[in-house]
A and B are shown apart, each in its own frame.
Chain A
Amino acid sequence: MSSELPLIGDYSPATGAALSGARIGVVTFPGTLDDRDAARAVRLAGAEPVSLWHADESLQDVDAVILPGGFSYGDYLRAGAIARFAPMMSKIVDAAKSDARLPVLGICNGFQILTESHLLPGSMIKNDHLKFICRDQVLRVENNNTAWTTQYAAGQEISIVLKNQDGQYIADEKTLDALEAEGRVAFRYVGWNPNGSRRDIAGITNEAGNVVGLMPHPEHAVEAGYGPDHTGTDGLGMFASVLTTLVGGTK
């Protein structure tokens, strides 16, 4: 599906018209950088992006939420440690845990905010090589049953953009064992572990599968010409997946 996307400019839905009613919130914190990119990805997948401001308390009836990448509050404290206290975050945490199981995707800094909010276990520390790294990264989709991964095949390898300073995923052995046993490792680095993450983990999900966090950036691989190697669109599947989840009600 992804290779048929127009190179630039055309925002006509790439997926079925029935899905176009979906509204997906994109939260902006002070220091958020990839919010416009996340909104573009939502649009290209065929849904309507809705800007959510960190200090507001209304989710504006969105059907799903994306916490985009960036350096909220400069990451001067632990990455995501301040953003988690935003009024918007408490609404998101409640909605994610509610019976409605609001789908939430945290990308990079968004993933860090999700662990700081305890929606996902573990934490991120500085890359093992101590430098910021930007590269095209291959991931394996380990769990294609989450709200954000149904459009991928289990075990499928995808190439998306990785760019971070504090991307080394860590958790205690017991937590890591539990994540593995419960199939909650959503994505794993393939070929090379770019930041020293435990067990090559690139992304994880919660037990219910509605909350997913990952360090690499699917929103930067949605438009041919602007993604990995200026051709890749493998990230679009994540945004298409949540639309399928929303209309189909499948997990």
Chain B
Amino acid sequence: MTQQFNIDTVEHAATTPDTELPWAELGLKQNEFEEIVKVLGRRPTAAELAMYSVMWSEHCSYKSSKNHLRQFGEKVTEEMKKDMLVGIGENAGVTNLGDGWAVTFKIESHNSPSFVEPYQGAATGIGGIVRDIISMGARPVAVMDPLRFGAIDHPDTARVMHGAVAGIGGYGNSLGLPNIGGEMVFDSVYQGNPLVNALAVGVMRHEDIRLANASGKGNKVVLFGARTGGDGIGGASVLASESFDDTKPSKRPAVQVGDPFAEKVLIECCLELFKGSLVEGIQDLGAAGISCATSELASNGDGGMQVELTSVLLRDPTLTPGEILMSESQERMMAVVSPENVEAFEAVMEKWAVEYSWLGEVTDTGRLIITWNGETIVDVDPRTVAHEGPVYDRPYARPEWQDALQADTFRASEAGAGLPATGEELKAAVLELMASPNMCDKSWITNQYDRYVGGNTALSAPDDAGVIRVDEETGLGVALSTDANGRYAYLDPYTGAQLALAEAYRNVATSGAVPMAVSDCLNFGSPEDPDVMWQLAEAIRGLSDACMELGVPVTGGNVSLYNQTGSTPIHPSPVVAVLGKFDDVARRTPSGWRNDADGQAIYLLGTTRDELDGSEFANIRGHLGGLPPKLDLAAENTLGAILINASRDGMIDAAHDLSEGGLAAALSEMALRYGVGARVALDDLCERDGVDAFTALFSESQARAVVAVPRSEEVRFNDMATARQYPVVRLGVVDTETSALEVQGLFELDLAELREAHEATLPKYF
């Protein structure tokens, strides 16, 4: 191959120390560039500069959050570690499911690309997280997508919403992965910075667990999958490390383009490689492409690797070495193969018609050496690229405005005046709530996703958790839920992050599964703003404290910073995913009662307080202030145990957690799930908890759930709740005759009317 450009070799760099390098354009700060020169003992070559710049970006190095993220590894008991097979730091954590099965899951952000080019940004978000799962040796079995967009009626929201949803569907559907849940939130704080997070979960046998390391001198390094092109060059550092600023349009290019067909073939091809034990180590190519894969593989293994860069198969032959190293072309994997398996490896590639090229081999020199036609262009200690990047102790301080914000309660505000009190007013308020952007029916989105493929989906949206069967013989399976409430976290980031965990934990338990592990995607503004840095520090401290108390370890995750437009950050949005385990998914609890449930008793578990600050009701009224609902992790733990035991012992036929929208939302959603009505009364609840009907319906007090109990199980159910000293109150009964939600003495809401209001919102705007 011939090149028109001059190659900046290590030899050349050593003799030309004063050459000007575009480190600032590549997103490096002066002190970082100086550090690189110090590490190398000379100026970096152009190729080395490209590698360091992407690997030391916020996105890849976690330089602003690393000091805080340590708590996830520190606040862990031995008990929490017992089922953790692979912890934080690998492509994704791995948890023991029993019977020789293991599960791996992870959530990541693809926020900035999804604003620039919503379809491809969201699609490649799914593609990237799925490759992380494959890299662990697992078969991906499902995906989820927590989404946050700008105001529903803003003209740009439709562009992002249509593109992101179609991208997630277009990519995930083509991979044969059921999409089993997620979130949808509209809030103007996300207008210039939507959040598109993606979760993938995979399963494997214990013996199939693979790690990203290159060990064994003489083993071969191979790059396979799609060819390397010019897409996404510098995407990691350029897109994710600087916020959008209208004066710098040049910072908005280069979103990667996805090819789901190539990824589907790659999945099957990798699983065949794992089955034949044909790879020693494997790593997907995501952010920072070959720079990341080579430096991470080398530094996690024996510490040395030699690679000839002209061996990389290209889509665009004009790419420079630096561009090849930085390219974020999708659907690529790098593996380490022992010489005796080379032939078998190639046979698998031929079968699936996957292109591959042998780049080099593992060495014991402790150096990552990359050559271009034999001339050395990179000679680095891979650890300095992958793991020893800069770490910042960013200054942070509680924002000056926080006190005033917390003092501004909904009840005392103008928006909180004249609250609904009569039956008619309450009925209208329930209708308004259920038609509101965040509470309306989401099937406009979920109907664009395949939830059935694979034949193992036992529950999916709108149920509380997505449930996937893992073992068809025994019914062993997993449940997953993702949650975050940016408003709660804005009012109090410490508690807000904990409330996100509490809700995801509650959702998983509501489905009947035992919560086991956590993955988090921390979406925040600029860490260079002390207010934002305080939010981030508080959220991490809160989440790690709560994980410890609930006994569920964080096994992996992602931090997404600089989510802001100009100087306005998004609400702190710590999205928490909880994974739970089912001994048999056949006993999962759906979120609504069916038409064979006539006369079943409807109970509310938990205590209702006057907690409307940050609520959906306050949001509809345009108010945000005060303190989020009180967190009680001991109560969450007991509630979870009751819901799991009730499922195991067949005491409940339906269960739904109370979260945004409170009891009004829960009862409405349970009735709408299968179109079956109910008759309830609030008097006992109001008297016991000392609240009025409005508060009973709209408060967002935590640690609550509604369940439907067959008549024959009522005594047992009550006994169990009493034995655990958990508050329980009988609200009423399922009524298959009325086709209405009747709140006695207040109102009767026809289900057809409720459904029409609930389902009309998204189609109206999109």
Residues of A within 8 A of B (CB): 7-9, 30-31, 33-34, 36-37, 40, 70-71, 73-76, 131-135, 161, 163, 165, 217, 219-220, 223, 225-227, 229-230
Q: CB distance B453 to A33 under 8 Å?
A: yes
Q: Does B340 belong to the interface (CB within 8 Å)?
A: no
Q: Which residue of A lies closest to B178 (CB)?
A: A134
Q: How large is the interface on B (under 10, 10 to 19, 20 to 34, 35 or more residues)?
A: 35 or more
Given contacts A30-B261, A30-B265, A73-B261, contact A230 B453 (CB under 8 A): no
Interface of B with A (CB < 8 Å)?
Answer: 166, 169-170, 173-176, 259-262, 264-265, 352-353, 446-459, 469, 472-475, 584-586, 590, 674
Task: Give the residue name and chain of the B residue nearest to A38 (CB).
Answer: B455
Establish whether residues A8 and B455, one from each chain, have CB atoms under 8 Å apart when the complex forms.
no
> If the complex has contacts A133-B448, A163-B452, A165-B173, are A74 and B458 also in contact, measured as CB distance less than 8 A?
no
> Which residues of chain A come closer than 8 Å to B452, judged between CB atoms?
134, 161, 163, 217, 220, 226-227
Do A9 and B174 form a contact, CB below 8 Å, given A30-B352, A134-B447? no
Q: Which of B455, B458, B474 contacts A37 (CB 8 A)?
A: B455
Other A-B pairs, 6, CB within 8 Å; known A9-B475, A71-B173: A30-B261, A74-B259, A75-B261, A76-B261, A132-B449, A226-B456
Bound CA–CA A68/B450 (angstroms): 15
A230 and B261 form a contact (CB under 8 A): no
Q: How far, in angstroms, from A7 to B450 measured CA to CA in the complex?
A: 22
Q: In whole Å, how far is B54's beta carbon from the nearest beta carbon of chain A? A: 29
Residues of B within 8 A of A223 (CB): 455
CB distance from A225 to the nearest CB of B (A): 6
CA gap between A34 and B453 in the complex, in Å:
6
B169, B265, B472: residue with the most chain A Cβ atoms closer than 10 Å: B472
Chain B nearest CB, measured from A187 CB (Å): 18
A9 to B176, CA, bound (A): 21
Chain A residues whose C-beta falls within 8 Å of the C-beta of B264 in the assembled complex: 30-31, 33, 71, 74
Given known pairs A9-B472, A223-B455, A225-B458, the reply for A74 and B260 (CB within 8 Å) is: yes
| B259, B447, B455, B584: most-surrounded residue (chain A CB, <10 A) | B455
Q: How far is the CB of A53 from chain B (nearest CB, A)?
A: 8
Q: How far is the CA of A30 from the CA of B353 in the complex (A)?
A: 9
A37 touches B173 (CB 8 A): no
Cβ of A43 to closest chain B Cβ, rounded Å: 10
**B382: shortest Cβ distance to chain A, in Å?**
35
Say which residue of B265, B455, B457 sits within 8 Å of A40 (CB atoms): B455
28 contacts between A and B (CB under 8 A): A8-B469, A8-B472, A8-B475, A33-B175, A33-B264, A40-B455, A71-B173, A71-B174, A71-B260, A74-B174, A74-B259, A131-B169, A131-B447, A132-B170, A132-B449, A134-B446, A134-B448, A134-B450, A135-B447, A163-B173, A163-B450, A165-B173, A219-B455, A220-B453, A220-B455, A223-B455, A226-B458, A229-B674
A33 to chain B, nearest CB (A): 3
A-chain residues with CB within 8 Å of residue B175 when the two chains form the complex: 33
Specify the chain B residue showing the minimal Cβ separation from A73.
B261
CB distance from A220 to the nearest CB of B (A): 5
A230→B590 contact, CB < 8 A: yes
Query: Are A226 and B455 within 8 A (Cβ)?
Result: yes
Q: List the A side residues contacting B586 at CB < 8 Å.
A: 7-8, 225
Tell whether A37 pairs with B454 under 8 Å between CB atoms, given A8-B586, A30-B265, A134-B448. yes
Tell me whether A134 and B451 are in contact (CB under 8 A).
yes
Chain A residues within an 8 Å CB radius of B584: 8
Minimum Cβ distance to chain B for residue A78 (Å): 14
**B residues within 8 A CB of A34?**
176, 453
Q: A226: nearest residue on chain B (CB-CB)?
A: B455
Which 10 A-B pairs give the minimum distances between C-beta atoms?
A74-B261, A33-B176, A37-B455, A220-B452, A71-B174, A7-B586, A163-B450, A9-B473, A132-B448, A132-B169
Q: Name B262's closest neighbour in chain A (CB-CB).
A: A74
Chain B: CB-nearest residue to A131: B448
Which residues of chain B are within 8 angstroms of A33 by Cβ–Cβ distance?
174-176, 264, 453
Contacts of B590 in A (CB 8 A): 230
Q: How far is the CB of B335 from chain A (nearest CB, A)?
A: 20
Q: Whose C-beta in chain A lies nearest to the C-beta of B170?
A: A132
Which A residue's beta carbon lies closest to that of B455?
A: A37
Separation in Å of the B696 CB from the closest CB of chain A?
Answer: 31
B453: A residues at CB distance < 8 A = 33-34, 37, 163, 220
Chain B minimum-CB-distance residue to A76: B261
Chain A residues, Cβ within 8 Å of B456: 226
**Residues of B with C-beta under 8 A to A71:** 173-174, 260-261, 264
A70 touches B455 (CB 8 A): no
Which residues on the B side are within 8 Å of A40 (C-beta)? 455, 472
**Residue of A whose beta carbon sits closest to that of B451:** A134
**Which residues of A lie under 8 Å from residue B449 when comparing CB positions?**
132, 134
Which residue of the partner chain A has the closest CB to B674?
Answer: A229
Query: Chain A residue with minimal CB distance to B449?
Result: A134
- Residue contact B259 to A36, C-beta cutoff 8 Å: no
